[in-house]
């Protein structure tokens, strides 16, 4: 794989199929899989295959990659049947936001009412 990887990163291991995950789909640059601790009936994670620790570390010029990740989030919503009723895409950045795995990832949540503010 040509993308930059971190051998100690859980999501990099999932991308390399060295850790288990229920993969929904993948593209050359993006992987989507079920969250192991779902917070809604639909809860998937969408990650770039390139290791980027968080949005703060996203390099200049990564607009195309991050756009692909967002379009993959839309695909998750479509394939999981929540695109019409509504879904939320969440990106946590840093420990105080709740980011627990330091590989940029987008949560796709749906299948129930999602209230605002999120908490």
The residues annotated as belonging to the active site are 105
At residue 56's C-alpha, the angle toward residues 110 and 12, to 5°, is 65
Rounded distance, CA 80 to CA 76, Å?
A: 6
For residue 42, give the H/E element and its range. strand 42-48
Show the tokens assigned to 30.
Answer: 């993006």
């Amino acid at each position: 794989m040509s993308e930059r990887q971190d051998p100690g990163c859980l999501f990099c291991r999932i991308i390399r199929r060295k850790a288990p995950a229920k993969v929904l789909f993948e593209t050359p640059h993006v992987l989507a899989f079920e969250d192991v601790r779902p917070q809604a009936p639909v809860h998937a994670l969408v990650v770039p295959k390139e290791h980027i620790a968080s949005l703060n570390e996203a390099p200049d010029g990564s607009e195309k990659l991050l756009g692909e990740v967002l379009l993959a989030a839309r695909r998750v919503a479509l394939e999981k049947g929540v695109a019409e009723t509504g879904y939320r895409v969440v990106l946590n950045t840093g420990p105080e936001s709740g980011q627990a795995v330091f590989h940029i990832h987008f949560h796709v949540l749906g299948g129930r009412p999602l209230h605002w503010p999120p908490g």
